[in-house]
Structure formats: structure tokens, C-alpha cells
Amino acid sequence: MSLQLGDTAPDFEQDSSEGRIKFHEYLGNSWGILFSHPADYTPVCTTELGVVARLMPEWKKRNVKPVGLSVDTGENHTGWAKDIKETQGQTVDFPILADHDHKVSKLYEMIHPNASTTATVRSVFIIDPAKKIRLILTYPMATGRNFDEILRVIDSLQLTDSDKVATPANWKDGDDVIIVPSVSDDEAKAKYPAGFKTLKPYLRMVKQPKLPHAS
């Protein structure tokens, strides 16, 4: 059965570039991003891991732990990390699972036979501190991911978890947000004394509350 939003992220134990990982234990009270790569020593993956490493201050600010996955061995990961450092100028300072036995790939349905019978597609799972799956994305092998978008989604998830708002299309930090329909006008007036804009009774815009990680 396919994993769905709100499901508990399957736990596992697997080797990685940073030793044996017990997934739920490793995440602890943090958010997590589990993302897969078709293979080591591949060009698109090399650029992606460089970007994730460069964004490490942003992950830490949001209490997020990234975890990569490739179906190669830990020994390959070590050699590949040197290439990433050389070509992308970044040290890979997060674990990459060595899923050579496909245990995690199968658990998270990362192998799509119509694309490849052995390599993983570019899957992304965002997992909250309660170990619930909050986002699932699947990219084809030839298309590199936009990790700025993944950061944006995490901002939205953390904001909407902390406040009774939703984020509109193309929202980014600092843009107006939507007051959810379950909040009455009277409640909204009390909560937002500076006011809000009613476009339709079901569409009320208000200045964005501060993100939970903002200082």
C-alpha cells in the first residue's frame, strides 16, 4: 500500500556515510527530509548534494535533519563525497544511506520499475517531529530538485502548524497569508487587531505571522 500524507514514516535501521542509522532515533525531535538519488557518481545528484550541504544553516534554523539515500555502498559514498567537495565546493555533512540491499528504497517505494528496476527515482519525504509524513514529491531522474521550494514548503508547514492560517499559491516568507475558514470573523478581528482584507467570505488575507524559527 502506498505511503500517504499523515502516515507514520516507516522506521528502519540502515548503514550510512555516518555509520549505522536508526531513522526515528536519529531524527529525535527534529523535522526530517529523506530524499533519494538514482546512484553515486552521477551528475545531477552531485549538484543536488552540494546544494543540500550549502543550505545546512537553513536546515538547522528550521530544526530539520536532511538524510540522503543512494543504492550504492558506504565506500562509494565516501569517494563520491570527495567529488562533491571538489566540484561543488561543499563538504557533505549529513548522512547518505547506503541502501545497497534496497531495504529503505522498497519500504518507501522509491524504485519505480517503469523508470528503472534498480535505481531510485528522486523521491522526497518531509517528516515532522511526530514522525508523520507531511509532503511527498517524486521527480524524474534527469530533473534536479529545487531545494529552495522544499525550504519554502517547510516554512509553510511550520507556520500553518503554529497559527490558524494557510499559505496561498506562490507564497514565500513575508507574503500575506489566508485566514482559515474555521476561524470566524469575530475571532479573526480579535486575533488580528491590525485588520485583515476580505476578498470573499471564504478568502480573507492577513499579514503573515512571524515564522516559528524567526528571531
C-alpha distance across the termini of the chain, in Å: 41
Round to whole Å and give the CA distance between 112 and 169.
Answer: 29
The DSSP secondary structure of 184-215, one letter per residue, reads -HHHHHHH-TT--EEEETTEEEEPPPPPTT--
Strands (E), the chain: 13-14, 21-22, 31-37, 64-70, 96-98, 122-127, 133-139, 165-166, 177-179, 197-200, 203-206
13 DSSP β-pair partners: 22
124 DSSP β-pair partners: 35, 137
Helix (H) or strand (E) segment spanning residue 156: helix 147-162
Q: What is the dihedral of CA 170, 172, 174, 180, to 10 degrees?
A: 60
CB under 8 Å to 106, separation ≥6 — which residues?
none
Give catalytic status of residue 45 as yes or no.
yes
Annotated catalytic residue: which of 9, 45, 53, 150? 45
- List active site positions: 45
